[in-house]
Structure 1
């Protein structure tokens, strides 16, 4: 994790690469890995850089347009990509995986994560934190209710994970600086991260975009902050523990 700069059309930052490298290191001790809501970048990087590949690698993707893309990227690495709605039970047997990973899940469904983990298995994930990129969201939508800002608070997620029977080994939170250097970067970001400003189009938000363009031109980059937390959780011991 580290500083993420959004310049022009944006770029892959250290926050992504740091988590992907950590996943790669953990693959060496796993026999069966599941990547939930894959987005494909992390698992692709991790498998390319892992000291040893697991015998079984599966990824789920809930957003239809991304299923074909994820399959094209991950199938050559031996990964089975399964189309699975984000709000449905995971289509796998109990205790099927000794390592479950996820980067920025829409929602961590802790009961399902615990169910598919083998005894001793590990959940290692990077979650979006509370109020992430709040400055940009509220520029377009106005102030957000406190309960909406805090929905992803790590303390709340810790309690939910423990209620599902997982032990929290490590939980780290970070706040990362994002700088938008021009209005094209803002538009690119909001088109890519579609849940930030639902229904965003240039036409619908043209007056606000023009005002923000003028602000960036006169005052410099628009600064927001991305919040993240890194989860390392373990299921109680049993038959097939993860070795890392």
Structure 2
């Protein structure tokens, strides 16, 4: 028996959205993963590093899954519920979690790290990343690409301008990294299939990833949510395209 809109809304509107763990969506949404395997590739680089920084660590979920960490690892995060989760998860592994505003300057000395990583940063402050990297050091990041999940965003907000669709393009990331004095050694973009199987998954997703529909509340968008529930009941999953890009940039050994 299918669940009612009211049941799905009540459940998804009340569940905690702290941290960066999306396991609540299991059985309710699917997302194709990028081919490069970010956590595994990040772990390989961590095993070779001596001092590493994870920027915008969320709840520390990705960093905690790395098998071998350097002797010195620091993680930054700005959102208080995530800071608490990251501290609980990462302190047992010797990682220092620093509460940070996610705006420059990073609270670290010049050339403090030989590896800086970040998974899905909201903003990449390239000049400050270059500052804290040692000569020969590496920045390694998986980022949200252009127009990611915009089928869902535009369902609620209507058509967005072309310049908004162009934001977060990997070519722009390359240009900004090079302007900061870094050499881009790898840059890959993939478009991936995402499916939302019930309206509860949509509510949870938009509550958690708050920049997708910035003014989202269940109350404000209830008519659209109800209509989406009916669409899902009649036609099956709501399909969207997720975009991800991988970027690796190195600080030259000599200026």
Q: TM-score, normalised by structure 2?
A: 0.85
| 1:201–1:152 CA distance, 2 compared to 1 (3 A) | same
Secondary structure in 2 matching 1:179 = strand
Distance 2:81 2:146 in 1: 27
Counterpart of 1:184 in structure 2 is: 200
User: What is the aligned counterpart of 1:37 among 48, 53, 56?
Assistant: 56
Counterpart of 2:76 in structure 1 is: 60
How do residues 87-98 of structure 1 correspond to structure 2 at under 5 angstroms? 87-98=103-114
Quote how far apart the aligned CAs of 1:7 are: 5.0
| 1:17–1:216 CA distance, 2 compared to 1 (3 A) | farther
Q: Does 1:227 align with 2:247?
A: no
Distance 2:115 2:192 in 1: 27
Flag structure 2 segments of 5+ consecutive residues without an equivalent: 1-24
**How many pairs align?**
229
Counterpart of 2:217 in structure 1 is: 201
Deviations 1:158-217 (A, max 9, x none): 000000000000000011110011111111111111111113121111100011111111
| 1:24–1:185 CA distance, 2 compared to 1 (3 A) | same
Quote how far apart the aligned CAs of 1:21 are: 1.2
Distance 2:172 2:31 in 1: 29
Counterpart of 2:14 in structure 1 is: none
Quote how far apart the aligned CAs of 1:88 are: 2.9
Quote how far apart the aligned CAs of 1:64 are: 2.3
Deviations 1:4-55 (A, max 9, x none): xx65455787459921111111111100000000111110111xx23xx211
How do residues 96-115 of structure 1 correspond to structure 2 at under 5 angstroms? 96-115=112-131
Counterpart of 1:159 in structure 2 is: 175
Secondary structure in 1 matching 2:146 = coil
Contact 1:8/1:185 (CA < 8 Å) preserved in 2?
Answer: no
Counterpart of 1:23 in structure 2 is: 42
Flag structure 1 segments of 5+ consecutive residues without an equivalent: 1-5, 239-244
Counterpart of 1:3 in structure 2 is: none
Contact 2:28/2:197 (CA < 8 Å) preserved in 1?
Answer: no
Aligned-CA RMSD value: 1.8
Contact 2:130/2:182 (CA < 8 Å) preserved in 1?
Answer: yes
User: What is the aligned counterpart of 1:126 among 142, 164, 169?
Assistant: 142
Distance 2:196 2:31 in 1: 14
Secondary structure in 2 matching 1:144 = coil
Q: TM-score, normalised by structure 1?
A: 0.89
Deviations 1:103-135 (A, max 9, x none): 010111000110000000000000110111100
Secondary structure in 2 matching 1:95 = coil
Contact 1:10/1:188 (CA < 8 Å) preserved in 2?
Answer: no
Which stretch has the larger CA shift, 32-41 or 144-153? 144-153
